[in-house]
Amino acid sequence: MMKLDLSFAHSVPLMLPAHNHVEFIIVGAGGTGGFLIPSVARLMLEIEANSNKTTSCIVVDPDIIEPKNIPRQNFQQSEIGLHKAEVLAARYSLGLGVVIRAIAKPFTKKIVSTKWRKLTVIIGCVDNAAARAEISNCLDQTYSGSLPQIWWLDCGNHTNSSSGQVVLGSTNQFTLADAFDNLQKPNFCFNLPSPSRQHPELLTPLPEESNSTSLSCAEIQARNRQSLFVNQQVAVIAAEYLLALTLTRSLRKFATYFHNTTGSCRSLYTCMDSLQKFTDEEIISPSRSILV
């Protein structure tokens, strides 16, 4: 007999700390990042128009636009030879009138700054373990008694298939006690396991990431016969996460997986059962305490 999945029905909304400013840091301006940046720019407009909050965005990517990037990425022939981050930051900051700046260097933890009543969302659109490890280091902290100011939304797609995932988290030291307002009957979720806690393999280098390979990202994608439009689909899902997280405040999920060949899509929701697997804690009963 098929078991009925009630995880969404048992999920609770994600609550963020009070903040006056939202900063998006998009790490990677290639396939996924290049298509996500215009959505983030429009989201910034909506946040500023419908709340008393200000916004800013930083695009981080050291790469130069090459002819092989044009089919799968959000660039034009006339932009070949320019830095990806600088092109996209200029295009959408000037076009939409929002604050977007570029850093044409690899991402480092020093780029992230914490300030009072500031929310930072790091959006990983990279295809290498080293960059993800640097992002993961930004979440290497506990939040006992306080809400996380830094969140990581990781975007990825798989080789040799038209599939991918979007995963959200806030800490590498995740516990259920810090995740919910009430362990017996939660009303809100405050904290989520980081993407690297949910999927440790994100920090494992792939064979093509070794120093011995001279393949570019575009050449690796071509070799793996990646779907032409999969990056755009990942970007759409990520944009919906950012909308629900920062504007509508209605987010009840933390991971989404899709496969275009089969047409399937599934998500994990912010409920006790879904999050318990990422801890060493054991849920005894809804009416009893949780053993640690």
Identify the band that residue 284 occupies on the pLDDT scale cut at 50, 70 and 90: very low
Task: Please report where in the chains the tokens 């295809």 appear, as a residue.
Answer: 127
User: Strands across the sheet with 118-124, in order?
Assistant: 100-103, 54-60, 21-27, 118-124, 150-157, 163-169, 253-259, 264-269
Encode pLDDT of 239-273 as tens digits. 999 999 999 999 999 999 999 889 999 999 999 99
User: Is 122:135 a contact under the CB 8 Å cutoff?
Assistant: yes
| Separation in Å, CA 155 to CA 30, 56, 158, 180 | 12, 20, 11, 25
Beta-bridged to residue 159, according to DSSP, are: none
Encode pLDDT of 14-62 as tens digits. 999 999 999 999 999 999 999 999 999 999 999 999 998 999 999 999 9
Q: What's the pLDDT score for residue 217?
A: 58
Q: For the chain, give the mean pLDDT.
A: 89
Task: Please report where in the chains the tokens 């599934």 appear, as a residue.
Answer: 266
**Could you please report the per-residue DSSP string of 178-195?**
GTBS-SSS-S-B---B-H
pTM: 0.90
Weakest mean pLDDT among 97-111, 157-171, 180-194? 157-171
3-class SS at 22? strand
Those residues with Cβ within 8 angstroms of residue 277's Cβ, 6 or more apart along the chain or in another chain = none
| All domains in the chain, ordered by first residue | 21-276 (3.40.50.720)
Identify the band that residue 1 occupies on the pLDDT scale cut at 50, 70 and 90: low
